[in-house]
A = this chain, B = another copy of it.
């Protein structure tokens, strides 16, 4: 079947033999009209729980389709527990953040509404679709959880205290270089928070600094766009403590 295993599909159904997994209308369209595949072609399947499976397209009609799991190719691997929180920006940037955060192995993607957030509405479905597409292409065995946007103060008030929150903020006092901070933190669950392009409001920085689980970091002397800061923070953490460190 040549390169068809380059086609990887995320499905929500359990994967084992003796089941048939229905395809969503979007998946039917993608396989049939974009990739021009047909019944009988083999591809890879994953669902975030059962590893990666070799599957075969069992049916691919105009409106519906299904795949049949044949055998497991890879066991489910545990992925690093690293959350990315970010203040949403213009749509193109948010799309890129969802895509790249998935590629860079974030386990949770969470839009945070701050004083200087200039986007009122975030399309969470669209974020998730971008994250899934990136997961399919980068050979992840799971898909990041994409959370509904929430206010910074609400998130902090309900924060799981055992999870360290690394806040990447420009300039100011008390910020360590991110790599130095990551290397000195005790092991344990981590979240990265990247601020909005206008920066956090002073009251927000004070609120953050008061939280016992917060550590402040900087990303160097240049003023990064929000999406670039997200890529950098995830890249550094994965390279020092995540699965790119091994």
Cα distance, A239 to B235, chains bound together (Å): 10
Q: How far is the CB of A89 from chain B (nearest CB, A)?
A: 13
Q: How far is the CB of A10 from chain B (nearest CB, A)?
A: 14
Find the B residue at minimum CB distance from A232: B235
Copies of this protein, total: 2
Q: Can you list, as one digit per residue, whether each of A208-245 has a CB less than 8 Å from chain B (1) or not (0)?
A: 00000000001111111100100110011011101111
Task: Name which of A32-40, A47-55, A100-108, A118-126 contacts chain B.
Answer: A100-108
Verify B239–A104 contact, CB threshold 8 A: no
Verify B137–A220 contact, CB threshold 8 A: no
Q: Can you list, as one digit per residue, whether each of A171-188 has a CB less than 8 Å from chain B (1) or not (0)?
A: 000000111100000000
Considering the complex of A and B, which 7 residue pairs feature the smallest CB-CB distances, nearest first?
Answer: A220-B244, A232-B235, A235-B235, A179-B239, A138-B222, A231-B231, A236-B239
9 A-B pairs with CB atoms under 8 Å apart are A96-B96, A100-B231, A104-B224, A104-B232, A105-B222, A137-B223, A139-B223, A179-B245, A220-B243
11 additional A-B residue pairs with CB within 8 Å, beyond A103-B228, A178-B244? A96-B96, A104-B224, A105-B222, A177-B239, A178-B239, A179-B239, A180-B245, A220-B243, A221-B243, A232-B235, A235-B235
